[in-house]
Structure 1
């Protein structure tokens, strides 16, 4: 008893007791809490996949196959990932209204919760790009000038240098980027929908994607005024050349005609 009493009076006794209590608390938490949390997340994911499978069977299976294996009317979805589903369905391109050169953007028919469930099911068929978080696609603070350089190098050939869109071959087109949600722009770069090439993080890092999104939002913003005056739709030399040809040449012809008429009248008099 005397030895135990001496140990209790030791200056480090309280520290040892505190450490033992913390270790016991941490061990109990690690043994019970994470398991419950993991089970809850797994259960929620399983439920989302089940609900997504039901939506898929009604709206997607007729073209993409009952198991996402694809058919003559639609490509396989194994390995496309959740990001591709969120983009295609979240912009109304899918379900497809009718077969054509490409799927046009239209009214979204599913809620975001249903899109998430559908994405969870398709993602379960094979690993692919996941839906980006806001931190990944939020352009706040990104270098707009650098984004402009990247956009003109990688995107302007199809989307025009201000993102107004443009015609492609065989009835296809690059859509306008005006008013497009930054998340969908990011997902398009990740997944390469339809005629667009994909730009995974190994090719174009997240930082560069943010810079491109920042540039697109800057040039297509509601308060963006053209320093050169009328932008002519931002379509570049085609529309500007057409304007000059019709109005410029037309004005020159009108002036030449007026001079000729005045000269003829002067000779007669």
Structure 2
């Protein structure tokens, strides 16, 4: 008992020492750090290229200052025109990584010169550079992130039967006719819009870019957030557009398609051929009726 009391006394004296508290805190931090290093995901901060998220942001800022700051400002705040009534480039705060992926991967950004509408052209950045730019722009404020493949590709969804796929395509067609045909027409061939702008055709466009366009609303296109069109809705619309392209690869037995331009070509055909033919036929009837009356009078 005396030995136990002496040991307890020594421990109590050491516990009251000036460095005992610091030693306990350091030991606790060391143990917690060891647990975190052991159980944290190995790639939580690093991507497939070995760069951390902060390193991607830093690399993206360097690219941004070289290629984008002239129109969008050094911090993405946007740049006004000299008259102050417009801007060379809008603010990028809150546009998210999805907008960067769409605009840069389709070559719409950077623009050669300001115009009515940014045109699609070959992209000038590599996939890694696009990733860095997206990381930097996303750091400016919360916005739509780059979608996962399951969100825009019906083939990437596991467990779907053939009936489920057909039902998704039909549903996507209904959603497309309701929300998209006013600008892109029923065939996805695009169409003219006011003020020198146009709705681009959707044939041959990457699935991911269609999804990002619906999510971010580039240029004159309205934004369709997930509250308006769910990720499943967007994916079904894309599946419908793919089904149209698949049908175009086979011979069409439905007659002359008139370029698939929708109401424009159909209305022109109706006026020139339909109504024009009726007017010509009426004129022919009137002319022959007048001749027959003259013969009877003679």
> TM-score, normalization: structure 1?
0.78
- Match of residue 105 from structure 1: 120
**Mapped pair 1:243 → 2:269:** yes
Give the conservation status (yes or no) of the 8 Å contact 1:78–1:122.
yes
1:201 & 1:224 partners in 2: Cα distance?
A: 34
Q: Which residue, 28, 32, 38 being the options, matches 1:32?
A: 38
**CA drift at 1:98:** 1.4
Q: Which residue, 65, 68, 78 being the options, matches 1:70?
A: 78
- Match of residue 5 from structure 1: none
Distance 1:39 1:216, change over 3 A: closer
> TM-score, normalization: structure 2?
0.71
1:208 & 1:224 partners in 2: Cα distance?
A: 27
Give the conservation status (yes or no) of the 8 Å contact 2:63–2:133.
yes
Distance 1:150 1:192, change over 3 A: same
Distance 1:62 1:161, change over 3 A: same
Distance 1:244 1:96, change over 3 A: same
- Match of residue 174 from structure 2: 149
1:100 & 1:148 partners in 2: Cα distance?
A: 33
Give the conservation status (yes or no) of the 8 Å contact 2:45–2:53.
no
**CA drift at 1:105:** 1.1
Please give the secondary structure, in 2, of the residue aligned with 1:38.
coil
More displaced 10-residue stretch of structure 1: 234-243 or 115-124? 234-243
**CA drift at 1:246:** 3.5
**Which 5+ residue runs of structure 1 have no aligned equivalent?**
1-26
More displaced 10-residue stretch of structure 1: 197-206 or 61-70? 197-206
Query: 1:163-206 CA deviation, whole Å, 9 max, x = no partner?
Result: 11111111111110010101001001111111111111122111
Distance 1:122 1:212, change over 3 A: same
**CA drift at 1:208:** 0.6
Give the conservation status (yes or no) of the 8 Å contact 2:192–2:199.
yes
Please give the secondary structure, in 2, of the residue aligned with 1:158.
helix
2:100 & 2:94 partners in 1: Cα distance?
A: 11
Number of equivalent positions: 238
- Match of residue 217 from structure 1: 242
Larger Rg computed on CA atoms: 2
1:85 & 1:181 partners in 2: Cα distance?
A: 15
**CA drift at 1:46:** 1.6
**Mapped pair 1:136 → 2:154:** no
Query: 1:207-227 CA deviation, whole Å, 9 max, x = no partner?
Result: 111111011111133525545
Q: CA RMSD in A?
A: 2.8
**Which 5+ residue runs of structure 2 have no aligned equivalent?**
1-32, 81-87, 156-164
Runs of 4+ in 1 over 3 A off after TM superposition: 27-31, 35-43, 224-227, 244-257
Distance 1:250 1:205, change over 3 A: closer
**CA drift at 1:123:** 0.5
**Mapped pair 1:57 → 2:65:** yes
2:57 & 2:99 partners in 1: Cα distance?
A: 16
Please give the secondary structure, in 2, of the residue aligned with 1:164.
coil
More displaced 10-residue stretch of structure 1: 215-224 or 229-238? 215-224
